[in-house]
Amino acid sequence: MTRVRFPFPILMSVALALATLASGSDAQTTVGSITTTEGNVSVRLMGFGLVIGLDGTGDRNLVGAGRSGGTSARAVANLLQRFGMSVDDDLLRVRNVAAVIVQADVDPYLRAGQRFDLQVSSLHDATSLSGGQLLMMPLLMDLSDTLMAATGSGGVIVQQDPAGRILRRGGSSGRVPQGGLVEVDLPRPQVSATPVLSLNSPDVTMASRIAGVINGAIGDGTATILDPGSIQLNPPTGAADNLIEFLAGIDTLTVAAYGAPRIIINRHDGTVATVGTIMLGQTTTITHAGITLTIGGSDPGAPPVAGLVRMPVGVPVQDIAAGLHAAGASPHEVATMFELLKKAGVIAADIEVQ
């Protein structure tokens, strides 16, 4: 019998069509949304900067001749010296300036000239970065290195409640959308001839499903499970010449969703997302950072109390998140509250802080 060989691009097109038809009505997700290619690690950048233009909410410990002016005052004095102006930092009062640490997780495939988001956090005792402007500053890949990989600047946005009010404990950190600028090409990961897919949440059942979908679409032996968190790929003939195209095709394959309910919390802005139905059905009280969360056991008609969040039994997770935000909880405090609820056995879900 004669075996006909199709070019790899045609083979991938047929495989993707078959996978789509076989998806059925069950909840589906793509392989690319739950896996990453081994070695494809974000580049982490960090730097020190100044946020200016604050309305008296900057660093407050910068007063008095003969006393230390603090990091912000020294940074301002150094900046002025670059423009030929000599100022004693002990005499500076810079309540409209805040010293900040700037961080970013950058896709390694960004090229020089492309932009990315920044996260800024107060280094001293600034009460709010709202309305501030991050002065242009360098971002480094390694604090022991002097190579400037990128620069950062732009307007700072801080966390707000649904009514647009600045949260009382959320103003000392924020983000600068598209404030980072890549100055030099970043080091890119090398793609192996036999790439490995890493599951974002290792699970042997999901690994088996992914391998089955890939082998069913491309051919037996294409995917081999190494452990619950990784799957080795053996590209077929013709795919080795263009591994990027091969991996792109794998990413778009669909697989039946599986796993325990999850709560995903963004550590930067406090956004809470849920996977699956998660209800809190037990009476409990948790106090953290001046906020008390009470589920059940209280009069729902009682007048509101500052720092107290009351919720009935059976409340969904999103209502709790909204209540914590309204009470002024910072992203870190929101994440801690949910972790405490899980430790107390009130939440039967995995919690992922990103």
Give pLDDT tens digits for 8-17: 454 444 444 4
Q: Given this model, what pLDDT does residue 227 score?
A: 93
What are 281-333's pLDDT values in tens digits?
A: 678 888 888 888 888 866 656 677 778 888 888 888 888 888 888 888 888 88
Residue 20: pLDDT over 60: no
Looking at residue 300, its pLDDT comes to: 57
The average confidence (pLDDT) of the chain is 79
User: Quick one: pLDDT band at residue 209, thresholds 50, 70, 90?
Assistant: very high
Is the sign of the CA dihedral 209, 213, 214, 220 positive or negative? positive
Q: What pLDDT does 217 receive?
A: 92
User: Which of 160-164, 219-223, 297-301, 329-333 has the weakest average pLDDT?
Assistant: 160-164
Q: What is the pLDDT of residue 277?
A: 67
Range of 117-131, 141-155, 265-279, 338-352 with top mean pLDDT: 117-131
pLDDT reported for residue 340: 87
Whether the predicted pLDDT of 271 surpasses 70: yes
Which of the residue ranges 106-110, 163-167, 212-216, 218-222 would you say has the lowest mean pLDDT? 163-167
Highest-pLDDT range among 98-102, 234-238, 350-354: 98-102
Q: Is pLDDT of 6 > 50? A: no
Find the mean pLDDT for residues 167-195.
83
pLDDT at 290: 84
Best-predicted range by mean pLDDT (131-145, 220-234, 274-288, 290-304): 220-234
Comparison of pLDDT for 93 and 81, the residue scoring more: 81
- The whole-number pLDDT of residue 92 equals 61
Q: Contact, 230 vs 39, CB < 8 A?
A: no
Percent of the chain topping pLDDT 90 = 25
User: pLDDT band at residue 64, thresholds of 50, 70 and 90?
Assistant: very low
